[in-house]
């Protein structure tokens, strides 16, 4: 039979939800998977598996394998694209695990902060319907967000890259009510206000920036998800140490201010406020940062650029005078979504 139906990268598709699973391993219904957005990379999800054979066992009278058994499965997914306030809210809810929401007519303000370990170490999980091809499509169970990177440069759209870890279970099947593409407000780098300075006294710094990048990492305990009785798939996913890192590539002026920030390790408040319109924004705030990793200065089109880098060791809970004083970061997303981190009714 002739090969006549190759599958294209443009045929890849997916559907997500603003809800989280009521319990790990309990996938959301198709009717809950009602969110659909554009994305940049046509990367398919990746399933790996562990298995056993008797190839290296003794007593068979030969050195070849005669038996086979699956022992564990793992699913990973990476997505990147233009950051909208709808995508930002969905990702930041999974990343942080804690949200306070207030209504500011006609929009909703969602304040995301890292989940208190006293409330449990289980990461929030969701379900996604993923289509690789007409023959390979279905629900990926219990996706937890391991890391999220947000970047901005010039007049481009603000970009995100999200890395997910699933339970390993994938239930094949077509989406019974596949949603239409949403009309979303994309955040633009040209509308981003970056502020730095002493805590509670940050001032505009964006005109000196070439680009910026923020990475959050949940350092999920993926190996601990398998335990006696969990079967072929993970039965849980625990949060690791929540960390962040920051890179600001800034133009030097005729002062030594950037050099001094690096040498002195001076506490700085950093705000990255991604404006959209009156009803849409994403404001990232680090109340207390030290740019202890200076990076290598370089010339960009003949202009001196000095990187300001804060590693995971340089992000602090708010120091004296900082707001918030009890968190390493706080992110406020305004959009039309009423609620995050809710389970199905």
Decide: helix, strand or coil at residue 274.
Answer: strand
pLDDT of residue 232: 97
pLDDT of residue 320: 84
What is the CB neighbour count within 10 angstroms for residue 255?
A: 8
Residue with tokens 């699973």: 21
Q: Report yes or no: 76 and 165 within 8 Å, Cβ to Cβ.
A: yes
Cα–Cα distances in angstroms (integers) from residue 261 to residues 74, 236, 255, 310, 311, in the given order: 43, 42, 12, 11, 14
pLDDT of residue 257: 93
- pLDDT by residue for the chain (345 residues), tens digit each? 799 999 999 999 999 999 999 999 999 999 999 999 999 988 889 999 999 999 999 999 999 999 999 999 999 999 999 999 999 999 999 999 999 999 999 999 999 999 999 999 999 999 999 999 999 999 999 999 999 999 999 889 999 999 999 999 999 999 999 999 988 999 999 999 999 999 999 999 999 999 999 999 999 999 999 999 999 999 999 999 999 999 999 999 999 999 999 999 999 999 999 999 999 999 999 999 999 987 789 999 999 999 999 999 999 999 888 999 999 999 999 999 999 999 998
What is the CB neighbour count within 10 angstroms for residue 304?
A: 13
pLDDT of residue 107: 97
Q: Report yes or no: 317 and 340 within 8 Å, Cβ to Cβ.
A: no
In the chain, what are the domain boundaries? 11-48+71-335
pLDDT of residue 79: 97
Q: Assign 3-state DSSP to the chain and report helix, strand, coil percentages, each to 5.
A: 10, 45, 45
Among candidate residues 188, 183, 161, 155, the one with its CA nearest the CA of residue 282: 188
Give the separation between CA 14 and CA 143, rounded to whole angstroms. Answer: 13
pLDDT of residue 319: 87
pLDDT of residue 84: 98
pLDDT of residue 295: 72
Alpha-helical runs (H) found in the chain: 85-96, 257-264
């Amino acid at each position: 039979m002739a090969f006549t139906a190759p599958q294209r990268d443009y045929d890849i598709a997916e559907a997500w939800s603003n809800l989280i699973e009521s319990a790990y391993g309990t996938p959301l219904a198709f009717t809950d998977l009602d969110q659909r957005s554009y994305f940049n990379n046509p990367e398919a999800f990746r399933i790996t598996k562990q298995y056993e054979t008797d190839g290296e066992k003794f007593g068979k009278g030969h050195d070849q394998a005669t038996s086979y058994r699956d022992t564990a499965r793992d699913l990973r997914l990476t997505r990147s694209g233009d950051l909208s306030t709808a995508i930002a809210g969905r990702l930041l809810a999974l990343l942080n695990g804690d949200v306070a929401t207030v209504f500011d007519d006609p929009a909703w303000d969602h304040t995301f902060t890292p989940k208190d370990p006293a409330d449990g170490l289980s990461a929030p999980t969701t379900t996604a319907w993923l289509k690789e091809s007409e023959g390979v499509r279905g629900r990926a169970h219990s996706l937890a967000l391991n890391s999220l990177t947000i970047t901005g440069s010039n007049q481009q759209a603000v970009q995100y890259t999200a890395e997910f870890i699933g339970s390993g279970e994938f239930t094949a099947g077509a989406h019974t009510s596949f949603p239409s593409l949403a009309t979303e407000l994309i955040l633009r780098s040209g509308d981003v206000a970056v502020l730095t300075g002493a805590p509670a006294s940050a001032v505009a710094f964006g005109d000196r920036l070439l680009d910026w990048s923020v990475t959050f990492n949940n350092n999920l305990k993926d190996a601990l998800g398998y335990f006696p009785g969990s079967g072929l798939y993970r039965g849980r996913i625990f949060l690791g140490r929540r960390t962040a890192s920051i890179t600001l590539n800034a133009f030097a002026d005729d002062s030594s201010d950037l050099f001094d920030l690096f040498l002195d390790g001076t506490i700085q408040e950093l705000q990255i406020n991604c404006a959209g319109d009156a009803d849409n924004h994403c404001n990232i705030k680090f109340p207390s940062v030290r740019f202890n990793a200076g990076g290598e200065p370089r010339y960009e089109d003949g202009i001196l650029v000095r990187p300001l880098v804060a590693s995971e060791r340089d992000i602090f809970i708010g120091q004296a005078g900082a707001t918030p004083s009890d968190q390493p970061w706080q992110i406020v997303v305004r959009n039309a979504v009423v609620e995050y981190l809710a389970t199905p009714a």
